[in-house]
Amino acid sequence: MNIAKHPRNVIACRGIAQVKLGNDGSLATVSNVDLQQFSVGADYRLSKNTLIYGHYTKYDGDMMLGNVKQDLGDNIVTMGMRFDF
C-alpha cells in the first residue's frame, strides 16, 4: 500500500484584487486572504490492472470580500477505482 501525505501548506495573500459579483458588473475588493490546507491520500492495487484510491483535503481560512468576512472552510473527499487496459 502506498500512502501519500502532503505537508500542511499555509498561503497568505496581502494584496488586493477586484472580483466581479453577479451579472450587473459590480466589483468587490478581495483582501486579507488566509488559507490553510491539509491533504492525505492513499492508493491500493487490488490486482495488476485494478487500483483503488482515496484522498481527503481540509481547507480552513477566511478572506474579506468588500467589507464582509467570508469563510473559506471546506472538506473534500475523493474516492475512485482505476482500470488499466
Residues 19-67 pLDDT 10s: 666 666 666 777 888 888 999 999 999 999 999 999 999 999 888 877 8
Q: What is the pLDDT of residue 7?
A: 41
Tell which residue, 60, 61, 52, has the closest CA to residue 84. Answer: 52
Tell which residue, 36, 31, 40, 39, has the closest CA to residue 11. Answer: 36
Q: What is the pLDDT of residue 82?
A: 96
Q: Where are the domains of the chain?
A: 2-83
CA angle 54, 7, 56 (to 5 degrees): 20
Q: What is the pLDDT of residue 20?
A: 62
